[in-house]
Amino acid sequence: MSAALKYTLGRIGLFVAVLAALWLVDVDIFLKLILALAFSAALSFFLLRGWRDEMAHEMAEATARRKAEKERLRSALAGEDEQPSEDEQSDEGERRQP
């Protein structure tokens, strides 16, 4: 399961749990919803820290992959030849020597 899905489900679960606890209090439904949102946000800051950090790490990796792929495609479309790797350079050097 992806970290974003775990974190999202955790936030929803916290909201539902806090709302269920507030259901016992005799106040307006809109006030219950607002309080449940505020309390669940505060609790998730502490309780879901690991999942939030994991999600942020996954998102950073995905962003880096997309950026690298974008640069690769731009250079390919511009007609720039990619620099040969060290293995390819050493293979060419060996072929050129008599």
Would you say 55 and 10 are in contact if contact means Cβ atoms under 8 Å apart? Answer: no
The model's pLDDT over 1-42, given as tens digits with 9 standing for 90+, comes to: 889 999 999 999 999 999 999 999 999 999 999 999 999 999
**pTM for this predicted structure:** 0.67
Average pLDDT, integer, range 68-79: 92
Query: Cα separation of 70 and 65, whole Å?
Result: 9
Query: Cα separation of 55 and 8, whole Å?
Result: 10
Instruction: Say whether pLDDT at 89 is over 80.
Output: no
Instruction: Say whether pLDDT at 95 is over 80.
Output: no
Structure tokens at 66: 């997309």
Instruction: Say whether pLDDT at 68 is over 90.
Output: yes
Angle between helices 29-47 and 49-78 (to 10 degrees): 80
